[in-house]
Amino acid sequence: MKNPLNYRRAGILLHISSLPSDGGSGDLGQEAYNFVDFLHNSGITVWQTLPLGMPHSGGSPYQCLSAHAGNPAFINMRWLTEKGWLQKSEECDDCYAGDAFGKSCLTAKAFLGFQSLATKEDKENFESFCKQSKSWLDDFALFFALRQEFSCQCWNQWPKALKNRQSAAMKKARERLSSLINSVKFEQFVFFSQWNELKAYAKDKNVLLFGDIPIFVSYDSSDVWANRKVFKLDKEGEMSVVAGVPPDYFSETGQLWGNPHYDWEYLKKTGFKWWVERIKTQDELFDVLRIDHFRGLESAWEISAEEDTAINGQWVLAPGKELLQAIEQECGSISLVAEDLGVITAEVDALRNSFNLPGMKILQFAFDGSSDNFYLPHNHEKNSVVYTGTHDNDTTLGWFNSLNEHDKYHIYEYLGFSKTSMPYTMIGTALASVANLAIIPMQDILELGSEHRMNIPGTCEGNWKWRFDWNQLTEERVGRLAHLVRMFGR
């Protein structure tokens, strides 16, 4: 299989939650297919999303209950009614919100319909999914059922026998919660079925799906509960050190993520089995995968769990070369992109280059007045992905408007005093880059300001909620975008 990243392509960054919808979140229904059609008609061949996992209450797709499970909020209910498993009359007021809880309520009702009305082929597909996903699905379904039973408490607050996965307690829990466990498995079956149908449609339209895999996982997750040896935890299962990043462009005090660090020695002894299985799940969902915080595979910022900020920490080496070799050996022709932003050293660059992985070029980082800034277009290289900005940046229009007049003049001077207004000046610059892949956030396509940004790193409130409306995508904008894509050979 040829590497899809070896060709000039254009893509748009838009999370599933940001699709138009009647509910509280975008989903995998008709609007997702409409978005694929828009991409295809514009000549755009890549759709990049954020991680698809089930987030905690804060909504961050980078802090999820499982490294494998999909987010129930993305399940489309009409699909279930069209299958005949969910009757319209079964919907209730609590389920109209469109969030994960409401949709779980409906999928539980659909599971009852599935058991009595599904075809033999559908039931065989469900059984096959459960069997193929057994390595993570059994633990996740039990974890999620127990979490519901204990009012969403973190697993380290559960009764000791369940916290420590004692066999007798686990057996009783599986028996006691068997109905809910099977319903959770069905919910995941529905999610993966809907995603695979969307992926097949995108393939027919020559659109690649580009996913994102967080380097770390949440402490309160089925992964940590079921695989404590994989992580740096004490005998009681508690964290003494947590992950984050030191002060950088995004935050003066760094970012205290609070995720557990990996026990790399244990992972090496197991041939990185846990990591490889995680990658395989995502590789089935996507055509291209970005490894978020790639530099953590060379060394990661380790902070005492008692610290209030990420300022006081240390870099701890990681066996990235051995891990990537294991992934390469087990996953064959997987296409990976390295998120190499932040504090990047020669060692991180060497690791990325040794596996020929594209890095990232962010145009909003380019204009510091230095001609050797490697984000400037004249310093780009083919084997890279250029962005106007990412989900962690301000929108390009918001970013530009926040600059002083001197900095604005410098940018336009570099760009040849373009007569095109922001953000399309930067969009054109990204598409003109020699980088094989150019990704534009949907907010920039729609010429939106700061109030429409997706996330402000280091903050917990008000993020991950942005949605777009088709009325914003005017015929003029569609035409301009398609023209630029053609003009720059993408």
Q: Directed axis angle between helix 134-149 and helix 178-204, to 10°?
A: 130
Region 277-290: what's the mean pLDDT? Answer: 97
* pLDDT above 90 for 103: no
- The active-site residue, picked from 187, 223, 292, 394, is 292
* pLDDT above 90 for 419: no
* pLDDT above 60 for 94: no
361-384 residue pLDDT tens: 999 999 999 999 999 999 999 999
* pLDDT above 50 for 97: no
Known active-site residue 90: no
Q: Which of 239, 243, 237, 62 is nearest to 155 (CA)?
A: 237
CA distance 142 to 69: 13
Q: How confident is the model at residue 99 (pLDDT cuts 50, 70, 90)?
A: low
* pLDDT above 70 for 141: yes
38-93 residue pLDDT tens: 999 999 999 999 999 999 988 999 999 999 999 999 999 999 999 999 987 655 55
Q: How confident is the model at residue 270 (pLDDT cuts 50, 70, 90)?
A: very high
Known active-site residue 220: no
pLDDT > 90 in the chain, percent: 88
Region 311-331: what's the mean pLDDT? Answer: 96
Mean pLDDT lowest among 175-184, 240-249, 313-322: 240-249
pLDDT of residue 74: 96
Region 125-139: what's the mean pLDDT? Answer: 98
* pLDDT above 90 for 1: no
Q: Which amino acid is at 217?
A: V
Please report how many Cα atoms fall inside a 13 Å half-sphere around the Cα of residue 344, on the Cβ side: 18
* pLDDT above 80 for 32: yes
- The active-site residue, picked from 392, 394, 444, 447, is 392
pLDDT of residue 269: 97
More confident residue, 93 or 357: 357
pLDDT of residue 93: 53
* Mean pLDDT value across the chain: 94
- The active-site residue, picked from 27, 139, 187, 339, is 339
* pLDDT above 70 for 318: yes
Region 200-227: what's the mean pLDDT? Answer: 98
- Which of 106-120, 192-206, 236-250, 333-347 is modeled with the greatest confidence? 192-206
Q: Which of 283, 274, 103, 85 is nearest to 188 (CA)?
A: 103
pLDDT of residue 249: 72
Pairing of strands 46-48, 208-213: parallel
Task: Record the pTM.
Answer: 0.95
* pLDDT above 70 for 130: yes
Q: How confident is the model at residue 333 (pLDDT cuts 50, 70, 90)?
A: confident
Region 398-421: what's the mean pLDDT? Answer: 94
CA distance 299 to 315: 6
| Backbone dihedral region for residue 223 (phi beyond 0: left; psi -120 to 50: alpha; all else: beta) | alpha
* pLDDT above 80 for 421: yes
pLDDT of residue 2: 62
Q: How far apart are the first and last CA of the chain?
A: 20
Q: Report the largest interatomic distance among the alpha carbons of the chain, rounded to a whole angstrom.
A: 72
CA distance 227 to 332: 25
432-473 residue pLDDT tens: 999 999 999 999 999 999 999 999 987 888 999 999 999 999
SS (H, E, C) the chain: CCCHHHCCEEEEECCHHHCCCCCCCCCCCHHHHHHHHHHHHHCCCEEECCCCCCECCCCCCCCECCCCCCCHHHCCHHHHHHHCCCCHHHCCHHHCCCCHHHHHHHHHHHHHHHHHHCCHHHHHHHHHHHHHCHHHHHHHHHHHHHHHHCCCCCHHHCCHHHHCCCHHHHHHHHHHCHHHHHHHHHHHHHHHHHHHHHHHHHHHCCCEEEEEECCCCCCCCHHHHHCHHHECECCCCCECEEEEECCCCCCCCCEEEEEECECHHHHHHCCCHHHHHHHHHHHHHCCEEEECCHHHHCEEEEEECCCCCCCCEEEEECCHHHHHHHHHHHHCCCCEEECCCCCCCHHHHHHHHHCCCCEEEEHHHCCCCCCCCCCCHHHCCCCEEEECCCCCCCCHHHHHHCCCHHHHHHHHHHCCCCCCCCCHHHHHHHHHCCCCEEEEEHHHHCCCCHHHCCCCCCCCCCCCCCCCCHHHCCHHHHHHHHHHHHHCCC
* pLDDT above 70 for 95: no
* pLDDT above 90 for 251: no
Known active-site residue 349: no
CA distance 243 to 262: 10
